[in-house]
Every structure is written in structure tokens, then in C-alpha cells.
Amino acid sequence: MPYKTVCILLIFFCFCVNKKHSTTPVAETTIVIDLQPFVGITAAQVDYVFAGLKKNYPFISINKPIALPTTAYYAARNRYRADSLINFLRSRTEAGHKTIGLTNKDISTTKAGVADWGVMGLGFCPGNACIASTYRFTKKEINGQLFKVAIHELGHTFGLPHCPVKYCFMRDAEGGNPTNEEKEFCTKCKFFLVSKGWVLTKD
């Protein structure tokens, strides 16, 4: 009886589960941005900023317009203190939200040794409230300028400092209005914001 050799072939299937982390950074928490119009800013301006921001940061809503707080009014210069407006907005901001106020009135802060320095916007870095004003804009393309100042101030609240890149939204205005040279966030600022949940979709 021939010796019968039985060969057993064992096949091992290896199921590998790829646990590699996604290359897209995920924000630690989802923060909601609330647009807070102050009476005087137009609905069209608010809608324009909302649409532009939403392409870059999906979690955003619009509050009903409210009056500017008289406590922030600086009668000597007929304008509003931006720091006081931020404090006002901060006191109304829920946990997990950031508020950006939009106004057509002149706003000011203390800067570079000047007690009352007019600005287009102000935001603390980081912070949960900021403010943008159309008052100092050139008459052309006010909507576009408002969007750029708004996204700049929101960048500060998410922790972005000023950026030396001339076309970057985080450029320091240095007392002027360079918004016509600002095109988008630079690569470095984009990388930072994506880690905070921004999507930064271009048109």
C-alpha cells in the first residue's frame, strides 16, 4: 500500500485594518460662529459676509440685529470703543461659540501709544468675540472689504497672529487699508486654521 502523503496547505488570511490617522486634521471641538449685526449695517452686507465665511467655516449662524451699546460710545470722537464692543459681545456669547459684530459706525482702540486710534476691526488672539466696521472702508466693494476684515478678526479669535505675507488675510493693516492686496490665507495660516476645523474652500 503506497504510502500516501497528505500535504496540507494552510493559508492564512491576514486582515489588516488600517488604523492610520486621517491626513485631515480634526478640530478638538466644534465652535459655532455667530454673526451679530448692529443696527445700521445692511442685510445685504451681512448676507455677503455670511456666505463668504460659510465657504471657509461651515458652522455659522446669523443673530437678529441689535443696537450698539451706549456704554461703548465715546462721545469726544463720536465713535465706539472696539474693546468695549468686544466685551459686550463676549458677555452675550454662549460657551462653544464665537461672535463677530458687524457695524457701520466708527470704532477705535488704544494702539501704539495713541489713546483712541480708529480701526476697521479688532479681535483678541485668541478670544471668543471680535468686531468689524465698514466706516473706514473705501467706497468701492464694501462687501468684499467687510468679508476680509471679518475673516481676519475671526482668524485672531481662533489664535492666528498677524502674518508677514502680503496677500494673506492675516496681514497687519498697519493703520491703512490693504484689503485690496489680500487674496486668501497663506499656506501657513491655512494649515493652522484647518487644524481648528476650517475648510477654506476657494470660489
Determine how many CB atoms are found less than 10 A away from the CB of residue 113.
6
Minimum separation from the CB atom of position 82 to Zn ion (A): 11
Report residue 160 as a C-alpha cell: 492666528
Q: How far is the CB of 154 from Zn ion (least distance, A)?
A: 11
Q: Any contact of residue 100 with Zn ion (CB under 5 A)?
A: no
**Which residue's CB comes closest to Zn ion?**
163
Q: Which is nearer to Zn ion, 86 or 163 (CB)?
A: 163
CA 79 – CA 113 distance, rounded (Å):
19
189 near Zn ion (CB under 5 A): yes
Name which position in 186, 192, 193, 198 contacts Zn ion (CB under 5 A): 186
Closer CB to Zn ion, residue 96 or residue 161?
161
The reply on whether position 165 binds Zn ion by CB under 5 A is: yes
Q: Does residue 18 contact residue 48 with C-beta atoms inside 8 Å? A: no
Candidate segments 57-65, 78-86, 93-101, 166-174, binder of Zn ion by CB under 5 A:
166-174
Binding Zn ion (rule: CB under 5 A), the pick from 157, 163, 192, 198 is 163
Q: C-beta of 157: minimal distance to Zn ion in Å?
A: 11
Cα(93)–Cα(20) distance, rounded to whole angstroms? Answer: 37
Q: Is the N-terminal amide bond of 69 cis, ω within 30° of 0?
A: no
Distance in Å, CB of 70 to Zn ion, minimum: 26
Q: Say whether residue 200 binds Zn ion (CB under 5 A).
A: no
Question: Contact with Zn ion (CB under 5 A): which of 41, 72, 86, 168?
Answer: 168
CA distances for 21 relative to 33, 96, 150, 192, angstroms: 27, 26, 33, 18
Applying CB under 5 A, the site for Zn ion has a residue count of 6
Interacting residues with Zn ion between 114 and 143 (CB under 5 A):
none
For residue 81, the cross-strand partners are 108
Decide: is 170 part of the binding site for Zn ion (CB under 5 A): yes
Residues that bind Zn ion (CB under 5 A): 163, 165, 168, 170, 186, 189
